Each structure stands twice: as structure tokens, then as C-alpha cells.
A and B are shown apart, each in its own frame.
Chain A
Amino acid sequence: MVTGENSAASQSETLIARIRSGERAAEEELVTLYRRPIFAIAAARTGDREAARDLTQEVLIAVLKAARNGQVRESEKLPAFIQGTARNLINNYFRSRVRRAESTLEAAGTLSSDPVGELEAAERRRLVQEELRSYSVLDQQILLFSLVDGHSLVEVAERLKMSHEAVRARKSRLVRKITKKFDRLSQK
């Protein structure tokens, strides 16, 4: 694990160094690497996909800007730097609730659109929907009550007049099943 972490840290260092030296491909690599998790974080924090899309772009631009200007001091801790940037920008968004003006950064053009990524994301969502709809009523209710309503498994069991153990087993089976399927799709 330590070796893996070291390897990831050295990759980050290399990436930052390449960006700083003005290598365009390195910037694209960073964007490809971090766009999806940043979007997931922004979506989870804001609950608004549109806002999350804009915020993802803002975070990437800010990170690239910092990398170009040599402001990423501990380059081996790039993920932590990105997380901090994302957190600050999302908090700013909540404070102002006003979308920021478009950046004039040169790289903005390459970041603004990712049609392939968007299509892939839409396809993944469609497949998840299809999979969920194939589940039984009870299974969908278990997932709804726990994943959307945020009820604990005990509360779900009480509402559905089932044992806690049965609800736990069902939910865990469903999540495992869909994760497996989703993993296969993501690797395609």
C-alpha cells in the first residue's frame, strides 16, 4: 500500500512538473484524471448537477492555474490540493449563489466541453436506471428508503415489516450486484 501511495505521489509530482514546464498533454491528463471525481464531489455537496458541472470546471481551471504558476507546493499531495480547492470553491458558491464569470484562461476552451464524457455518463445513468427498474418492488423500496430517504436499515425494516437482517442482506446483495455490473460497464 505504501509503495502504491509512493508511486501515486511520484506520478503527481511528475504531472505537476510537466504542467509547469508548459506541456499541454499533461494538463489534459490532469483533467481526464480528476474531472469525474471532482464532479461527483460537487454534485454530492450541491445536489445540483448543473451547478456541479460549472464548479468542476472552475476547480480544474484553478488547479491548472496554480500548477502553471508553481503554487502547488507539495506536489506529491495533489489530490489533497484539489480537494481543498474544490471545497473552497463550493463553499464560495454557496455563499454567493452566483455563478462566476467565465475565466479567460487559455485552457478553458479545452475544459468547457467533453462530449464523449457526457455521453458516457448519460449512458451509465441509463444503464443504472434500467438495472434498477428490473428489481422487484420490495428491492426498489428498500433502496429508496435507505439511499434517498436516508433511513437506517432498522427503520427500513420497520416500515416494510421485515426483519433487519433480511433488509440488510437484500440491500447488500443489490448494491453488490449493481456495483459489479457498473464496474464492468466502466471498464468497457
Chain B
Amino acid sequence: MVDDEALNEWFCREVLPLEGPLTRFIRRNWRVADDVMDLRHDVYERAFTGARKELPVNTRQYLFTIARNHLINSAKRARIVSFEHVADLETVDSDIDLFEAERHLTARESLRRVLAGLEKLSPRVREIVELRKIEGLTPQETADRLGIGKDAVSGQLVMGMKALASHMLGGTGRVVRPRYGARGRGEQS
């Protein structure tokens, strides 16, 4: 058994940086855009549970194998599977090498990502996130300063936190519809 601390650390260090490519992989291989977040949620859950026994040697391969299997199983359950679809998914192993370069950000790149994420927030949410992160105000202090309720502040912080995570982890790349057979290998998002 891997202890919780090591598991958490592994998940943040090895799995989360793959969120961008993972999300795009799911998008490319799934017809219903609304399902993508849930599918990713499931993949994370399965990856985490599976790593309890032993941390994988190659996290990237491990994660994308889980993603592929989960997509195939979900497609079977949903009866939307086609032979072409599954065959396409089999190529995942050669495909994921493309993503190698996206990992392990330097401090400066990380900061740039945070800033880029902040820019995409609405002005109100951004202000409240900045009050928290830069001024170190508690939600109550922010509420007092802005003259709004603490619940409203917490609500905005929840939104800000979720949006920042998606922006920073690169999980909101543009929606790429499945193009079976002829995948855009050079695509950027």
C-alpha cells in the first residue's frame, strides 16, 4: 500500500500536469462534449484508486491506458460504440508521446499560467481572488471591505478556484470534435 501522503503528492506532481492532454484526448474520442468533465473525473478517480497498491512506473502511459479503457467501457454501456471508434483508441500509446513536453513547469512558467488564468476570470471574481491571494484577506474581511455577504464572497472564490484550476492545468483547450481515422496530430490548443 502506498501511504496517502505519497499518493497525494504523486497525483499532484505526476497526474495533474497531464490534465491538458488528457482532456483533449477525451474530447477527441467522445461524441458528447458535456460528458468530458465527468469522464475526466472518473479517470482521475480510477487512476488514484489503482495507484493505491503501487505507484505506476510510467504515469503517462498508466493514465492514458485508464482513460482509453474507461472510454471503451463507457461507450459500450452507452451503446454508441463503433468498431472504428475502438480501433482508433487503440493507437493511444503512440499518440501520447506527443505530450511529453507539456510537463514540469518552471516557477516562472507556473506564475505565467496563474496570471493567464487570472486574466480570464470575470473582474469581480478576479478582484476577490486577488484580495485573498495577494492581500491575504479572509472571506469575512473581503466581505466587510466590499460590503457584501460572506456567502457571496465564498461563492465567488469557489468559482474563481475552479476556473483557475482549469485554466492553469490547461484543461479548457478548445473543443476538438472527433475526427475518426484522420487525427490532427499537429493540433494546438
Q: A and B, one complex?
A: no
Query: Residues of B with Cβ closer than 8 Å to A?
Result: none
